Structure formats: C-alpha cells, structure tokens
Structure 1
C-alpha cells in the first residue's frame, strides 16, 4: 500500500481535493500575469528627441506654427515619422514645412536633452527611465533579471519547502511577492526596480512549486491529489495560465499607468495569503518529517470533509505508517542530480528531454514577450497570443493519446522551429506564423510534463522533472537577451528562436515511446526497456516484454 491508497480510503478526489484544487489554481492566473507583465509595464511608447534649445515655444520665428516644430527640429525616417533617436544639430526653419526630409544631408546628433513621449496611450518604465535608443537593451535585461530570480527561487524555495513545509513556503512566497511586487511599483530608479523584480521572480517560483507544481513535484495541490488525477489537475493548471494572460490584457487595458498595474497585480496575492491559512499542511510532508500525529489530524479532517468520517476515525499513527511504508522505502535514499547520468540510457534520456524543455522555454517566452513588434493594438494582440494556446493544448492531448508522446513532441517542436524560421523571410505573415509557433510550444509544454514523468523511473523521477523545469527556466532567462542581439542584427532573432526547437526535435527523436507503458521503478528497469540500440529518428520502440507494477508515487 502507498499514500495514494491512503487518500483513496478517505475519499480520493473528494470534496476537499476539488475545493483545494480550485483555490490553488487561482495562483496560476496571477503567475501568468507576472510572467508577461513587462509586455505592458515596459511598453515602448512613441517618442522622439526633445528639440534642442527650445522650451515651451521659445526661439520660434514668427509665422511658424506648432505643427511645424518637429519638422524644424527632428528629421523624418523612411516612413515619414520623426526619428526616435536623432535630431538636427540646430533648428532648420526653412524646411519645417517640407513633407520629406529623409533625403536631406543635414547635421544630426543624438538626443542630448532627453525624449518626448506619447503619454496619451500609457506610461511605462521605458518612458519613466528613458530605456530607448542606446539604452533600449536595458528593457530586455530587466526581464532576464526577473527570470533569473525565478531560477534562484526554484532552488531556494525547493529547499525551504522540504525543510519547513509546503504551507509555510506558500505563505512565505506569497508574502514576499506582495511586498516586493508592490515595492517595485514604487521603485525610485531602474536599478531598484530590477532588484525588486528579481525578488518578485524568486517569490513567484516559490508559489509555483508549493501550489500547482507538476506531477511528482512537491506541492499542496499534488500531494493531496490521488495519483491517477494528478495529470488532469496539471492540465487545469495549464489552462489557468492561459486564462491569466487574457486577464492581464484586460487589466492592462483598464490600468494604463505602469505603477498602478504593477501594484494591482501584486496586491492581488493578498487573496492567496488569506485563504492559505485555512489550508492543511501536506500530510505527505508531515509523515516524512515524523509528525505523524499532526498528519493523522489533517487526514481525519479531510476524511470528514469528503464524507468519510467513519474511515477517518479508524486512522491511527500505526495505520498511517503501514500505508506509507512502501513510499518511505522508495525514498529511503535521496537521489542526486548525477544519478541522471549514471547509465548510458538514462544519460541519453536526460540530455534529450532537457534540451526539449530548454527550447520550449527559450522560444515560447521569446515569442510571448515581444508582441508589441507586430504594430497592432497590444492589448488585443496579447489576448490573441493567449487564446491560441487553448486549441493547441487540446490537440496535443488528443495526439498524445492517439499517436504517442514522442511523435507529438517531435512534431510540435518541428512545426514551431520551421514557422519561426520562415518569419525571417516572410515578414508579411509574421504574426500568423508566430501565433502558430507559440501555440505549438504551449502544446509542447503540456506533452513534456507527461512525457518526462513517464521516461524517468520512480528512483529519480522527481529530480528528473526538476532538471526539466530548471532547463526551461534557463531558456526563459536567456530569451530576452536575444532581443539585444536582434537590435544589432534583426534577422538573428527569428533564426535563434527557430533553430533551437529544431535541434530539440532532432534530440527528442532519439527518445523512446512511453504510451501505454507502465511507470518504471528503478534505473535498471529503465535500461532494460530503453537500450541504447533502440531509437533512431521516429522509429518504433522495441520494448522488452516485462511485467511491472505501477509506481505508487
């Protein structure tokens, strides 16, 4: 018997699990808001140089109207719009009425007196701290710093959650998010904003790993959910993240000032902090830390809420120990990261699946964090980029059940890589192709969660999943830095975002199919099922006819 069987005796996926799952899916909405928040708080507004030697119309010759000022001070680009980063060294009143100054050879200079922004649309950190022209790379660096915070938070809160409990970690992460996120809305300078966003990223990851983690990662939602329902709960979480992106668009449309938007999204975490006090600590964590009496009380409470009061009364510390002895024996020896490379087959699996996770995070955020470049209404563009994930995730689920995990993963990565590469040569249909690419990568995430869980044996499954999550965080961290390279070579951006998924597709083709195969328990069993001679791009798996029981974890 295992902990999953113990949950079954007190109601399985009962009233408590359904209610708790609904509460712990709410953070997914806010998490998506914070992940894509900089699309709006770092919006690049229309801008041009502040005219030289001119303030409030001083030094304007007679007969020159206010509409002629820009023509005298600011050159026009090839699209007949004011140059955003250049101005004339001195006013040229004689050309102020000309419609085209791009062909004139007049002395120009950088914006020495700052910029004038179109603040009628919104405000952002770009207009607040002049993150334009030679400083526009700082916008991408700010997003990478936030992603770095997520990476650090995954490690810090993972350790903290194991030592202090899931509920304590959830409350600590939520409190840190409220404090740091709200402080970022009040940041007096760009460096202070980056530091506070880094800490917000740490807090967000702490909330993720303790509220709605993927199967076989420690979280309140998953550790109270029966094994056969964990994948379904994870799918719900994926759709809530999509919903969060739509909610963010609506909030950004209503709240145009970046400080108010940043503060609103951060203060909303107070809701999580309030109801988290009523959530019981994970019984699984309590048992592994020898707090059996507290675990029994929590299990009895859950049994009562599930209408299994009589079964709850029968629970004693001795009964609980008997139920979980198989699980505790399975985790008697904690795995290390190097165990993922202990054998040739496991090493191949780790490298291939990690590259898949990395490419999905790298290109998904690369497309999702740059919606303003399409030139359409950014609010509706964000909605469209969010909604496209819904049908692709549904199709991914159908494909996994019919064609299998490997073919689905490889196909999604191939589609994403090809359409992103094509955007470098067909700019006219760039938005439609990017939508298809982002949707494919969103579906790839859904597939990778299940595929990774089935590839790794119970002995190292949790650390294998952690390695995948770490890889995708690393990819999301590096993706904003590609924008910096794109500032110098625009064609390089789609090439990098397209090539990485293609490389990942080639690597994933050497994995083996796990559809309708039982979960494995040991590394030795994995080597028997996945020998090195099996594989080759999209070949069918030659699984040995062995009979294994499903893992209880």
Structure 2
C-alpha cells in the first residue's frame, strides 16, 4: 500500500496520469492496424488467367469471351487457376462445346486481377495465388512469429534495463521497419521487415500496459486497463477508414507505420516507472519523476515533501528482496506462482488463438471488407465499455471466466451454422469476436495486477509470448485450406471454454494493491486458502450443531 499512498498524495488520477495514459494508448491503437493489416494489404481480388496477346478469338458465337478461354466454376464464373489448353487452329469458327471438350492448363502467362476494390495488394504484386496462395498465410505467420519472439525477449529484458528504454527503441524499430516494408521490391524482404514489425509490436503492448498500471493508483487501474483494450478496438475503426481511402498496399503500409517515428520522438519525455526505479535502487530518479507528476497534478507542495529517505523507508523491505536476480524460472518456482502462470498460459494462448483465428481472414458476409472491419471494431468498442463497468462491480475473475465461456459457446455455434444464413452468421461472428476482445482486455489488466513488480515485465512478456504463439498457430492452421471451414471454428470455440475454467484458479485482484514481490503473491495465495478453509470449517461446524444439538 505504501507506493499507492504516495501516488494518491500527489494527485491520484490527475492530469499527469490522464496525459501519460493517452500518450501511451495512441501507439497501441495503431498496433491493431499492424496486427490486422493483411486483411487489406493481403486481400485476394477476383482473378483469372491472363492470355497471351497472340490469342484472338474469331468466332461468330455470341457466348461471352470468357467461356471460350476459361472453364467455369459452380458459380458460373471463370476459374481462377486454369484455362483451356489451346491448340493451334482451334480458334477459328470454334463452338463453345468444342472448347469444353479440351483439357485445361495452368496460368502460364500470369493473371488478370479485378482492381475495382484495391488498386494493388501483396497478392497482385507478387502473384500469391493458385500454387502460391499459401505464401500469403506464411507472410502472416512470419509476422506473428516476430510478435512471439518480441514477447519472449523484451519481456524479461524490460525488467532489467527499464520499461521506457525498450519502449522507445520499439517505437523506432516499428516506424523504420514498417516504412521500409512498404517500398521493398521482393516478397522475401517484405516478410523480413514485417517480422521486425512483429517483434516491436509485442514489446510496445506489454511495456505500455505495465507503465500505465504502475503509474496509476488502485482506484484508477480498472478504467486505465480497459481503455488499453478500448484503444485497440478504436484502431480497427481507424484501419478500416484509412484502408478505405488508401487502396494501394504500399501507401497503406506506410501510413500506419510512419506515425511511430513521431511516437519515438515524444517518448523521450515520458517518465520511467517510479515504482520500478525504487525497487531497482534508483530512488533519486524516481523522486524526480514523482515530483514532476505532482507538479502536473497541481500538487507541487506535496511533491516537495517527498524525499529519497521517505521512498526508501516506505519500500525498504521490497528493495532488499528485489536485489536478488530474477529470471523466467521464478514464474514457476513457488506453488502460487506456478499455479498462476500455468493458468495464464492457457488463458492467453486460447484467447488469442481464437481471436486472431476468426479475425485473420475477415469475412465480409456480403457487407464489404471495409464495412465488416468497421462493424467488428465498433461492436468491440461497445462491448468493452460494458466490460469496463461490469468488471468494476463483479471483479476480474468472474469477468474473465464469463467472457471466455460465452465466446466459446457462440463460436462453436457459428461453426454449425449454414453459411447461406448470412444474417445469423454475421451476428454470431461479431458477438463471438466481441466476447473474445473483452476477454483479452480483461486479461491484460488482470495479468498486470497478478504479477509482482519485480518480475511483472517478465510475466507480461511470458504471457504475451503464449498469446502470440496462439495467434501464430491460428495463422498456420489457416494454411490447411477451405475444407476446414467447420473444424477450425470448432477449435476456435472449444479452446476459450477450456481456458475459462482455468481462469477460475486465479486470485481476485479487484480493489487490491499491486504486489511488489513474489513473497506477497505467496502470502496472498496462502491467505486466500486459509480464508476458504476457515469458511468451510465454520460451515461444517454449523451443520454438525444442527444435526447433533
């Protein structure tokens, strides 16, 4: 409670906290643009084989020209990856029946693309269709692998060198790598720089939420944590609007990447976590940042009363404990940490596995890809506003379980719904994805409150690593093709249901102070178990008294 009292004394949730949170959330909004960017830059337009310029049809038949050159699919449209094999002398006075009897061949001269929606995508740029259609999903999987690696590396590194050091570097890496990816000439180079974007994306998300929570007093954490998820959904609306205006994939890639260079510039003025600085035995720097926060909050006098001695005396016990070196193994070294980490692994993996599995190949349900993206983003924002209120009343654990369980039930129902019922499919898909978004929003706040300060970034990074592993697995599963249309949604629905039950093993953190050390987590877990046992004993004792008066 000591550090929370310090934050309350210098203004609580004041102007500093509000401005600090906004400056950290604006980049988070653009992260969702990068995570879902390939829905637009990798869109697959209608296409068919390109014909060589020497092939000219000389026929009096009024049958459409496409019928002579291309076999038709079940929708009476030219097949995308085949054309009739043309024999010399076949072109003159040919009938449609003579063409249908000929064998087919692959598109040897390239493809013609419908550019009425997108002027260019990575698909049209490098012909990622037919035999090369899997490269589009591979590009997405490479990006998600970068996100996975970033969570693994930068999570523990931030606990050693600081949150702001990693965050500032990640802004620069995202801005430069993303902008370069927009103008690279080859597909291999594009994938390499998108990989670097993924690494930076993960570092930005886990460090942003930690900085927000560590500068926020207890009564403001729920609101701030929910706005973190809210900003992500807002980014989806921004992406749909920007993609609607910019139909060229290179300029769209550049438009959502270049602003990170601006974020890099102003990040030099954002303060490091004062809580982390104190526990790292740098109270002078922490005092400097706390006094600045007090000044912005209009509590300059209260800030001047703080001294290095006060900060050290309030957190002396925690400082002595934190000086021991820590690693990722501390997440599973003690019983309470082990139970908590195992549950969070399953919750993070399942939530992101289902969320990105549904969101990677955005189905427009007859609405159009821009309208569909805006619909998903808008419904998510409304759902997260509701979660923000409900979480304050019922707590984190109940909200985490309910959102995961409901999402799983709805997505499983979606997998059994006939696709010709577009209205029902749209309703189930939007609702299921909204519940998953709520689960992820709750998860970020909940995890930040569960892990102690000394290894919070390690825990957040490890959790985010499992989340990105889930999204990477979902991307790889999409390579299996369209025949898995029913199987994949079932997987995306069953895993959140399982994760929901595992979330019941987590401690409730509503209205409790952030733990600073592993010992605090162990003590809270022991206290919770003791309270449960005492309640059970009291109940049993009362039953015995009734039975044996």
TM-score normalised according to structure 1 size:
0.85
1:537 paired residue number: none
1:71 paired residue number: 67
Range with greater deviation from structure 2 (472-481 or 309-318)? 309-318
Range with greater deviation from structure 2 (112-121 or 72-81)? 112-121
Range with greater deviation from structure 2 (229-238 or 388-397)? 388-397
Q: Partners in 2 of 1:173 and 1:437 — Cα distance? A: 32
- Paired residues of 1:49 and 1:84 also in contact (CA < 8 A): yes
Runs of at least 5 residues in structure 1 that lack an aligned partner in the other structure = 535-540, 546-553
1:239 equivalenced with 2:230 (yes/no) = yes
2:478 paired residue number: 483
After TM superposition, the structure 1 = structure 2 runs for residues 401-440 of structure 1, keeping only pairs within 5 Å, are: 401=392, 405-426=396-417, 427=419, 428=421, 429-440=424-435
Q: 1:95 to 1:445 in 2, by over 3 A?
A: farther
Look up the SS of the partner of 2:48 in the other structure.
Answer: strand
Q: Shift in Å at residue 154 of structure 1? A: 2.0
**1:28-80: per-residue Cα shift (whole Å, max 9, x none)?**
221111111111100111111123xx31x643326578x83321111110101
1:507 paired residue number: 502
1:32 paired residue number: 32
Q: 1:470 to 1:517 in 2, by over 3 A?
A: same
1:266 equivalenced with 2:257 (yes/no) = yes
Look up the SS of the partner of 1:423 in the other structure.
Answer: helix
Q: 1:506 to 1:450 in 2, by over 3 A?
A: same
Runs of at least 5 residues in structure 2 that lack an aligned partner in the other structure = 540-549
Q: Partners in 2 of 1:195 and 1:393 — Cα distance? A: 34
1:208 equivalenced with 2:199 (yes/no) = no
2:244 paired residue number: 253
1:471 equivalenced with 2:466 (yes/no) = yes
Q: 1:2 to 1:327 in 2, by over 3 A?
A: farther
Range with greater deviation from structure 2 (423-432 or 376-385)? 423-432
Which structure is higher in RCO with an 8 Å CA cutoff and minimum separation 6? 2
- Paired residues of 1:399 and 1:408 also in contact (CA < 8 A): yes
Q: 1:178 to 1:232 in 2, by over 3 A?
A: same
Q: Partners in 2 of 1:95 and 1:42 — Cα distance? A: 41
Q: Partners in 2 of 1:363 and 1:128 — Cα distance? A: 30
Which residue among 339, 363, 366 is the counterpart of 2:357? 366
Look up the SS of the partner of 1:169 in the other structure.
Answer: helix
Q: 1:456 to 1:192 in 2, by over 3 A?
A: closer
After TM superposition, the structure 1 = structure 2 runs for residues 257-406 of structure 1, keeping only pairs within 5 Å, are: 257-329=248-320, 331-342=322-333, 346-372=337-363, 374-401=365-392, 405-406=396-397
Q: 1:105 to 1:352 in 2, by over 3 A?
A: farther
1:19 equivalenced with 2:19 (yes/no) = yes
Q: Partners in 1 of 2:514 and 2:439 — Cα distance? A: 21
2:166 paired residue number: 169
Look up the SS of the partner of 2:117 in the other structure.
Answer: coil
Q: Shift in Å at residue 514 of structure 1? A: 6.2
- Paired residues of 1:406 and 1:513 also in contact (CA < 8 A): yes
Q: Shift in Å at residue 542 of structure 1? A: 5.9
2:6 paired residue number: 6
**1:453-493: per-residue Cα shift (whole Å, max 9, x none)?**
56667787665544433221211121111211234533322
Q: 1:258 to 1:282 in 2, by over 3 A?
A: same
1:225 equivalenced with 2:221 (yes/no) = no
1:180 paired residue number: 177
Q: Partners in 1 of 2:156 and 2:330 — Cα distance? A: 19
- Paired residues of 2:279 and 2:319 also in contact (CA < 8 A): yes
- Paired residues of 2:155 and 2:458 also in contact (CA < 8 A): no
Alignment size in residue pairs: 527
Q: 1:93 to 1:425 in 2, by over 3 A?
A: farther
Q: Shift in Å at residue 433 of structure 1? A: 1.2
Q: Partners in 1 of 2:226 and 2:134 — Cα distance? A: 36
- Paired residues of 1:68 and 1:96 also in contact (CA < 8 A): no
Which residue among 182, 191, 196 is the counterpart of 1:194? 191
- Paired residues of 2:155 and 2:460 also in contact (CA < 8 A): no
2:547 paired residue number: none
TM-score normalised according to structure 2 size:
0.86
- Paired residues of 1:4 and 1:226 also in contact (CA < 8 A): yes
**1:202-223: per-residue Cα shift (whole Å, max 9, x none)?**
122222233x21xxx3x2x333
Per residue, is there more helix in 1 or in 2? 2
Look up the SS of the partner of 2:257 in the other structure.
Answer: helix
- Paired residues of 1:72 and 1:93 also in contact (CA < 8 A): no
1:155 equivalenced with 2:152 (yes/no) = yes
- Paired residues of 2:83 and 2:104 also in contact (CA < 8 A): yes
2:42 paired residue number: 42
Q: 1:510 to 1:281 in 2, by over 3 A?
A: closer
**1:219-254: per-residue Cα shift (whole Å, max 9, x none)?**
2x3333223322321111111111110000000000
Range with greater deviation from structure 2 (293-302 or 190-199)? 293-302
